[in-house]
Structure 1
Amino acid sequence: MRTLDADITTLSGVGDALAAKLERLGIQRVMDLLFHLPLRYQDRTRVVPIASLRAGQEAVIEGEVTAADIVQGRRRSLLVRLRDGSGVVSLRFFHFAMAQVQQFTRGTRVRLFGEARTGSTGIEMYHPEYQLLDSVHDAPAPDDALTPIYPTTEGLTQPRLRALVKQALSMLDDTPEALPELVPAALRQRFSLMDIHTALRTLHRPPPNVTQDDLLTGAHPAQRRLIIEELLAHQLSLRQVRLDIQQDQAPALADGHTLQARFLAQLPFSLTSAQQRVLAEIGRDIERTTPMLRLVQGDVGSGKTVVAAMAALQAAANGCQAAIMAPTEILAEQHFRSFSQWFEPLGIKVAWLSGKLKGKARLDSKAKIESGEAQVIVGTHALFQPDVTFHRLGLAIIDEQHRFGVHQRLSLREKGEVAGITPHQLIMTATPIPRTLAMSAYADLDVSVIDELPPGRTPIATVAVSDSRRHEVIQRIERACEAGRQAYWVCTLIEESDALACQAAEATRDMLKEALPAFEIGLVHGRMKATEKADVMAAFKAGDIDLLVATTVIEVGVDVPNASLMIIENAERLGLAQLHQLRGRVGRGQIDSYCVLLYHPPLSDTSRERLGVMRDTNDGFRIAEKDLEIRGPGEVLGTRQTGLMSLRIADLGRDRALLDQVHALADTVMAQAPETAPALIERWLGNDRNRYGQV
């Protein structure tokens, strides 16, 4: 007997060639067809009067042919005139045979489906699907359900897909137990959820009275049922990861207050109350033997690095190592310099490891990490390569988490397990994550927010300027540099190419040198050696360089309080999060700071909206919410966050209002029906269900 779990080839008419096409759509089992939902629908359930047609409307009409002519225009076409009791419409065919011309004899009745559009004769339909009728009495009944339009692939037609789904629905009718209801009845009633069988049948064959707007916006109860179940499965999978990790043993880092007090005493500033609150939350976590899993969010300049340093000191004071991983060489180098400067007076040894560290220097660094001589280790993802062994890793700090994949975050466990312990994990990001995404992408983490900037930071005034006024912008730089200030000029490109970006930056540097001969102009780009970049950045920080031309490598981690002017070229090409990060390189001192968004007109509506948001606010969380609204969760989080990229039905941007309900449902499932969690995860994540926990 065929089952829903059977291979797709068990369906009638599916051979190896068709199975290969279906596999491209992620359809391998009969069950997969049931969850391959339509993108949209066509309404073929009623015949509408011709006079009611409007441009852009898809409809079924029926009428009598009054004329059929081959017309010569820019393109030769067959033009058929069709009339019913209400009006006249033209049918236009650019591809036709003479046999087709002969079909449309005067007086022939035709029923057809197509999209109305405005043409030279008024309302027209191009290449409609049509059926010749013997008489008005022989017309077949209209469809009894909306017609689904499925996501498809080359060589797979809509009628073929519909026929396959029809077989799968028939099998569901015959063996309903093959698709069990995984949300208990009491919870379905409490959360007003439709049963899953009714939901699937409704979405594949919606009755004529269903409002298409509801279906297109995810508002229909049938969609809501599946959206909630899918989000619930993802939520449960992340909670399972958290439970699995917290079964492990972590070192209790209970001491360290004396070392931290010595560190704070040497700082030229005091911690903000927000930093103190977040440090208390971290301190409570790492004093336990349960591994900490905490995300620290803080807007640009809120002082996350000092918080990370305090946590690293607590690890070192307890005989454990702390590793700080940054996504780029330039940010890792910045952290290495900061931590070395802070920790060496305290007797804490800081080591450095990156992909560009080669030969003896790399071997020496690895040896210090393995022996434990290096107590704090700073680097890029090279820290977690197989050939790197830690002596006793007690705390792993990941900066700018959105740049890394879920796999890399969770692979840290393996590094700690060498010594039989699981390190505490502290995740940091200066890209504020909207609450919607924090609740979803990081459901395995506790969240802390540094929601206060250090005193003395000035708001950054932002303006958008057409690149036709470039000369005015250069004059503005000249005035700033004459006043003893420094400036950035950031070059961006449409194509993500290091080589092209470097060429653009070099050309811009040359242009600015010619325009501003009195000032020292530096250059930083991704193809320079780490030492060269470090030298240029050190010279800029020391004030020896007036204007720094750079690619977006300076997005994070650069702190030059005297820099008060940021020019971002082709700003319309960047997302809000990146624009906000770049702008955050200025406004780090007590002088008035400015950001000029240089754009190339004409602007698209989306670009105009983005630049408007940047002008209106400096609040990173407001910007993040707007970024989510404009770009969607996939782009906001970055494609490496694979846990969210596999959402099949839900859309976090559209469905964020459901997340509180999903959280409450997840709490109840874990408390009252935990046995259903593995089956829910299996249904929606399939073979990917362990991806969060596997490397």
Structure 2
Amino acid sequence: MSAIDSPLDQRPVNSLKGAGPRVAERLLRLGIRTVQDLLFHLPLRYQDRSRLSPLAALCPGIETWVEGQVLDAGISAGRRRSLKVWLGPVDLPTGEMAFGQGLLLRFFHFSAQQAAAFRPGERLYCYGEVRQGPQSLEMIHPEYRFQRGDPSPLSAHLTPVYPSTEGLSQRQWWALTEQALVLLERWPLAELLPPEVLAPLGLPGLNDALKFIHRPSLGTPLAELAEGRHPAIRRLAFEELVAQQASLRRLRRAAHTLAAPVLVGDGRLVGGLRASLPFQLTAAQERVIAEISADLKQPRPMRRLLQGDVGSGKTILAALAALQVVESGHQAALMAPTELLAEQHQRNLSQWLAPLGIAPVLLAGRHKGREREARRQAIASGEAQIVVGTHALIQEDVVFRGLGLIIIDEQHRFGVHQRLKLREKGRTQGLHPHQLIMTATPIPRSLAMTLYADLDLSVIDERPPGRTPVITRAVPDTRRDEVIERVRLACLSGRQAYWVCTLIEESEVLECQAAEETARELQARLQGVRAGLVHGRLKAQERDAVMGEFAAGRLDLLVATTVIEVGVDIPNASLMIIENPERLGLAQLHQLRGRVGRGAVESYCLLLYHPPLSEIARERLAIIRNLTDGFAIAERDLAMRGAGEVLGTRQSGVLQLRIAQPLRDQPLVAPAQRAADVLLDRYPEFVTPLIDRWLGEREHDGGV
């Protein structure tokens, strides 16, 4: 079958007129390879281009078509060179109208040929937003076309505005999608959701929904489209959620067909650690460790996500789980994203486990030569019963004797394939290792159930006793001198402090420069205070070395970018300053704040903001001041910013939804989960095509 005759999911987008190599390359940036991909690239918003407004009826703030004739045109030198075109009514003789009473078209980017085309008397249509200028009403860079026998530009439907990339105009999007819709008439996409799934929701068919979304009829409420409430948008969101849930449920079912070692243990080591702890586990910790222990005793691999707010005590649960594994004659491995965090885990585990005769082995990138070989041999022989490491654990020559449990800390910092590599190292004689994934990033339960439906979920929703909540204050940067003095007093009294630099501009380079300048300023002003600097452009070894000095108490002040938000545990640090907190999300602010308040001393977090604050920024800072529960904060963050921003687009292995929005479409999640089960049980032939349609190469393969 040729590309021209193929179905739309196989038909390359470059088969469309106007989609040559350069345009196809730009479409590929947006993940558009086929005509079907193009159809699933939905508009951001819509414009009503069905009206032609008289010049005399214009007012600021409206977007509309106008018709007029050129009265005069010229290039203005001014502060910024621009082409100005005065437009008057078409029925007015040239020169009979004062310029201030017409409409001024202003172009800042133009060619000489373009300027010459605006001759007095030429008639044209213009579309744009009307603004109030210093002399008259204006349109800045309007769309326009000359009236030279062309038909009226008025649209018979709402006009879509597509999310785009550099080099692709809206006119090109309209031309390409117009062709795609014509092809859709000839080759409709297969309906992969049976009537018994769709009928109860009253949603339209897939092809009708696509046609409507790309060319909505006039009179359709714009708010209904913008807020995703229209049935056509709900139909696509629902199908995408069904595909996602079917993918995750298929993974879950496949995992249940695999065999895993049954790790019962005799309770000797677990009991020994419990007896030696200087604190009691909370009820939440007891509940979670019971869930993990029960999973390890099953003949199928555990796949559990453990969520716990900063300081909630996840590491002790990891230790208890690892001891149950060791009691059963197997090894446990804990993989952390940085050497600093791996060393921290190894240090904590060693303190707890040394009295039991167990010495966790650390394997990191800095281990070279004979030292590395000795550690590698200890892992291969089984002498190393508990192994802690970074990406070094997944290198080819690292072999385990009997890996029964994999614990992955801050899993979103690892790519999917890195996690799979570690899992494969535990496959022996047809058995697969158990997996425990830990995160201190609070994810609202509604979102976790949508994105991690292939995992069992455990939540530590209780703080250990004795942890003093961090006192949070918002301080304008006009009081910067007072804040610096407070840092000086804290450090000279034997405490440690963080100073976190963020910028309004989204630039890691500029952010690092700001951190360097802040470090120089603070070092000059804080005589006697030992300061260090870490940021994202330092090599990992350099960054870890500075963090190690801070952890050892040889530095009093750490100036940093947001690279420190996860995993740093310095009980002596009791003061944190966060510059420009108004540009960070609530969850990130809470993570940063969690670096202090880890000891028994009263701790403070000062949010050094730049006034004036927007209404949203004021609301965000008020939330972080008044709430200390990470899950409550995450729910508010999700409501304010949406799932994409809360999770961050860089999360490796977290499925990115194209159309559905977990918060907006929450009412569709439960029906989508039921529909996914119906497909898997009764229509298995639809499952793979549906997943391929929506997820393709992005299918969540986080490890069966």
Shorter chain as denominator, the TM-score bin is 0.7 to 0.9
User: 67, 73, 89: which one pairs with 1:82?
Assistant: 89
Matched, 1:38 2:43: yes
| C-alpha distance after superposition, 1:215-252 (max 9, x if no partner) | 22222111111111112212222222222333221111
- Structure 2 distance, partners of 1:308, 1:501, is 38
User: 487, 493, 496: which one pairs with 1:487?
Assistant: 496
Residues 644, 144 of structure 1: alpha-carbon distance in 2 compared, 3 angstrom cutoff: farther
The farther-off stretch of 31-40 and 196-205 is 31-40
TM-score (norm 2): 0.86
Tell me which residue corresponds to 1:125.
Answer: 139
User: Post-superposition shift, 1:619?
Assistant: 1.2
Residues 76, 638 of structure 1: alpha-carbon distance in 2 compared, 3 angstrom cutoff: closer
Contact 2:270 2:323 (8 Å CA) reproduced: yes
- Structure 2 distance, partners of 1:221, 1:89, is 42
Tell me which residue corresponds to 2:7.
Answer: 3
Residues 25, 467 of structure 1: alpha-carbon distance in 2 compared, 3 angstrom cutoff: closer
User: Post-superposition shift, 1:173?
Assistant: 1.5
Contact 1:251 1:289 (8 Å CA) reproduced: yes
What is the letter of the counterpart of residue 301 of structure 1? Answer: G
Tell me which residue corresponds to 1:193.
Answer: 203
Residues 219-618 of structure 1 mapped to structure 2, 5 A cutoff: 219-418=229-428, 420-477=430-487, 480=490, 486-494=495-503, 495-496=507-508, 503=516, 507=520, 510-511=523-524, 513-514=526-527, 517=528, 521=530, 523=532, 525=534, 528=542, 533-534=547-548, 536-539=550-553, 554-572=564-582, 574-601=584-611, 603=613, 607-618=617-628
Query: Does the residue aligned with 1:61 lie in a helix, a strand or coil?
Result: strand
Contact 1:279 1:307 (8 Å CA) reproduced: yes
Runs of 5+ in structure 1 lacking a partner?
none
Tell me which residue corresponds to 2:537.
Answer: none
User: Post-superposition shift, 1:528?
Assistant: 3.9
User: Post-superposition shift, 1:181?
Assistant: 0.6
- Structure 1 distance, partners of 2:428, 2:650, is 27
- Structure 2 distance, partners of 1:241, 1:686, is 15
The farther-off stretch of 581-590 and 420-429 is 581-590
What is the letter of the counterpart of residue 303 of structure 1? Answer: G
What is the letter of the counterpart of residue 101 of structure 1? Answer: R
Query: Does the residue aligned with 1:129 lie in a helix, a strand or coil?
Result: strand
RMSD: 3.3
Residues 604, 507 of structure 1: alpha-carbon distance in 2 compared, 3 angstrom cutoff: farther
- Percent identity among equivalent residues? 49
Matched, 1:170 2:182: yes
| C-alpha distance after superposition, 1:455-508 (max 9, x if no partner) | 2222221112234423322443455567x6623123435454697588457536
Tell me which residue corresponds to 1:150.
Answer: 162
User: Post-superposition shift, 1:410?
Assistant: 3.4
Contact 2:655 2:699 (8 Å CA) reproduced: no
User: Post-superposition shift, 1:439?
Assistant: 2.0
User: Post-superposition shift, 1:339?
Assistant: 0.7
Query: Does the residue aligned with 2:160 lie in a helix, a strand or coil?
Result: strand
Matched, 1:103 2:121: yes
- Structure 2 distance, partners of 1:56, 1:299, is 46
The farther-off stretch of 567-576 and 393-402 is 567-576
Residues 124, 639 of structure 1: alpha-carbon distance in 2 compared, 3 angstrom cutoff: closer
- Structure 1 distance, partners of 2:26, 2:572, is 59
User: Post-superposition shift, 1:548?
Assistant: 5.6
The farther-off stretch of 276-285 and 231-240 is 231-240
- Structure 1 distance, partners of 2:369, 2:616, is 48
Tell me which residue corresponds to 2:60.
Answer: 55
Tell me which residue corresponds to 1:665.
Answer: 675
- Structure 2 distance, partners of 1:402, 1:258, is 34
- Structure 1 distance, partners of 2:117, 2:21, is 36
Contact 1:501 1:551 (8 Å CA) reproduced: no
- Structure 2 distance, partners of 1:502, 1:154, is 31
| C-alpha distance after superposition, 1:307-326 (max 9, x if no partner) | 11100001110011111111
What is the letter of the counterpart of residue 65 of structure 2? Answer: V
- Structure 1 distance, partners of 2:298, 2:261, is 7
User: Post-superposition shift, 1:434?
Assistant: 1.7
Residues 565, 307 of structure 1: alpha-carbon distance in 2 compared, 3 angstrom cutoff: same
Residues 554, 147 of structure 1: alpha-carbon distance in 2 compared, 3 angstrom cutoff: closer
What is the letter of the counterpart of residue 47 of structure 1? Answer: L
What is the letter of the counterpart of residue 131 of structure 2? Answer: R
User: Post-superposition shift, 1:691?
Assistant: 4.7
User: 81, 100, 116: which one pairs with 2:130?
Assistant: 116
Query: Does the residue aligned with 1:377 lie in a helix, a strand or coil?
Result: strand
| C-alpha distance after superposition, 1:67-99 (max 9, x if no partner) | 5465868345221222799x9751425455455
Query: Does the residue aligned with 2:89 lie in a helix, a strand or coil?
Result: strand
- Structure 1 distance, partners of 2:18, 2:598, is 67
- Structure 2 distance, partners of 1:593, 1:254, is 42
User: Post-superposition shift, 1:358?
Assistant: 1.5
What is the letter of the counterpart of residue 118 of structure 1? Answer: Q
Runs of 5+ in structure 2 lacking a partner?
93-99, 535-539
User: Post-superposition shift, 1:680?
Assistant: 0.9
- Structure 2 distance, partners of 1:90, 1:193, is 45
Contact 2:406 2:423 (8 Å CA) reproduced: no
Residues 605, 379 of structure 1: alpha-carbon distance in 2 compared, 3 angstrom cutoff: farther
- Structure 1 distance, partners of 2:153, 2:26, is 33
Contact 2:84 2:104 (8 Å CA) reproduced: no
- Structure 1 distance, partners of 2:21, 2:480, is 60
Contact 2:419 2:703 (8 Å CA) reproduced: no
Residues 68, 237 of structure 1: alpha-carbon distance in 2 compared, 3 angstrom cutoff: same
Contact 2:353 2:359 (8 Å CA) reproduced: yes
| C-alpha distance after superposition, 1:388-424 (max 9, x if no partner) | 1111111111112232233333333211114542111
Contact 1:68 1:81 (8 Å CA) reproduced: no
User: 27, 34, 43: which one pairs with 2:32?
Assistant: 27
Contact 1:92 1:125 (8 Å CA) reproduced: yes
Contact 2:577 2:605 (8 Å CA) reproduced: yes
Residues 479, 606 of structure 1: alpha-carbon distance in 2 compared, 3 angstrom cutoff: same
- Structure 2 distance, partners of 1:121, 1:181, is 57
Contact 1:256 1:313 (8 Å CA) reproduced: no
Query: Does the residue aligned with 1:463 lie in a helix, a strand or coil?
Result: strand
Contact 1:490 1:552 (8 Å CA) reproduced: no
User: Post-superposition shift, 1:274?
Assistant: 0.5
Contact 2:501 2:559 (8 Å CA) reproduced: no
The farther-off stretch of 218-227 and 595-604 is 595-604
Query: Does the residue aligned with 1:103 lie in a helix, a strand or coil?
Result: coil
- Structure 2 distance, partners of 1:689, 1:565, is 43
